[in-house]
Amino acid sequence: MAAGVLLAVAGCGSGGDGTPATASGSLEQLAARARCRADIQTDAAELRQATCADGARRYVLVTFTSARGQAEWLDVADDYGGTYLVGGRWVAVGARKDIAALRDRLGGTVVDAAGKHGGGHHGHRSD
């Protein structure tokens, strides 16, 4: 399961297609770059999670202390489906249109997770 998502993540970098280089930093730094108001929900040793609001757009922003923690989180999240914006040690989760708009600010790779109930492709990458 994780292999499909991890392969999709491998393409993160500066956006030759006009998107910015993938952002990095703390949850607060990412929220500032995304121009959203972050409401911290989880502040644990291995990850921090906040809901983020930017006008009508809403998404969840998660930062990780290790690449392994991020990969494990993505592996579990893939079971539930959804649209993710994946960067270096961070992930944003939300509606496809909100994630597409967020990518313009944070860079990263948009990943559509299959979900066990959806029957689609695992870790389908869509740029």
Structural domain total, the chain: 1
User: Is there a contact between 26 and 33 (Cβ–Cβ < 8 Å)?
Assistant: no
Phi and psi angles of residue 120, each rounded to the nearest 5 degrees, phi first? -90, -155
User: Is there a contact between 30 and 60 (Cβ–Cβ < 8 Å)?
Assistant: no
pLDDT at 127 over 70: no
pLDDT given at position 113: 83
User: For residue range 15-68, what is the model confidence (pLDDT) as tens digits?
Assistant: 456 768 999 999 999 999 999 999 999 999 999 999 998 888 899 999 999 999
pLDDT at 1 over 50: no
User: Bridge-partner residues for 61, per DSSP?
Assistant: 50, 92
pLDDT at 2 over 90: no
Expressed as residue numbers, the domain containing 96 is 2-125
